[in-house]
């Protein structure tokens, strides 16, 4: 048995993160930017959680996106940190809701409005294909579904892709009446 040498941690020794070793490019496989639920737990929140608790939790966890689930653990929506903004809360209050009674379910993007990419399709695509799809659809994030087993297999986020590529990635959302109203009332 060997005794190994112990060293002092010097001031020039820097803490690294996985991103420091990431050599992801636009031509890298699309599956490399999927948060695959086969390998990592989905970042979830209950639809019945209060909006204020969700905001506090997401800020504490430094999380920008959560899958919203019902009591059976089935996905019913997506919640982005922006949907918990003071402006979104005040809009609900203006319609008569009490600030304390506003739930995640009131602010989330419901399941029927969520876009998905097929896992099988992503096997033959590059990150550039995914970026092009997100940009042309105006989607900041989408889920990944396995169409053969009918499973929600993962999630893709434009912000995660931008961070991995170390670039700014602008996704122009299609304006809705609500966006126009918000910009006029700001």
Rg (CA), the chain: 20
pLDDT in tens, 114-149: 999 999 999 999 999 999 999 999 999 999 999 999
Say whether pLDDT at 44 is over 50.
Answer: yes
* Range 103-120 average pLDDT: 96
Dump pLDDT digits (tens) for 15-42.
988 777 778 899 999 999 999 999 999 9
Residue 40 sits in a domain of what CATH number? 3.10.580.10
Enclosing domain of residue 125: 25-174
In a domain, 185, yes or no: no
127 belongs to a structural domain: yes
Q: Is residue 180 part of a domain?
A: no
Domain count, the chain: 1
Question: In this structure, is residue 65 part of a structural domain?
Answer: yes
> Would you say residue 135 lies in a domain?
yes
Q: What is the pLDDT of residue 177?
A: 55
Helix axes 127-137, 158-165, angle to 10 degrees: 140
User: Is residue 19 domain-resident?
Assistant: no
Is 161 inside any structural domain?
Answer: yes
Q: Is residue 3 part of a domain?
A: no
Count Cβ atoms below 10 Å from residue 90 Cβ, excluding itself: 12
User: Is 20 exposed, middle or buried (CB count within 10 Å of its CB: 0-12, 13-18, 19+)?
Assistant: exposed
């Amino acid at each position: 048995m060997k005794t190994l040498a112990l060293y002092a941690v010097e001031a020039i020794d820097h803490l690294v993160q996985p991103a420091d070793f990431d050599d992801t490019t636009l031509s890298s496989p699309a599956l490399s930017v999927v948060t695959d639920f086969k390998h990592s737990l989905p970042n979830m929140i209950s639809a019945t959680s209060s909006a204020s608790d969700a905001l506090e939790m997401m800020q504490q966890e430094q999380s920008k996106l959560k899958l919203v689930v019902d009591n059976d653990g089935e996905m019913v929506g997506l919640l982005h940190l922006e949907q918990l903004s003071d402006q979104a809360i005040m809009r609900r209050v203006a319609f008569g809701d009490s600030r304390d009674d506003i739930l995640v379910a009131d602010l989330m993007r419901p399941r029927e409005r969520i876009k998905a990419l097929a896992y099988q399709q992503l096997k033959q695509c590059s990150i550039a294909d995914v970026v092009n799809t997100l940009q042309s659809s105006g989607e900041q994030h989408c889920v990944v579904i396995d169409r053969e087993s009918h499973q929600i297999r993962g999630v893709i986020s434009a912000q995660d892709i931008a961070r991995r590529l170390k670039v700014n990635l602008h996704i122009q959302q299609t304006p809705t009446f609500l966006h126009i109203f918000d910009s006029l009332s700001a």
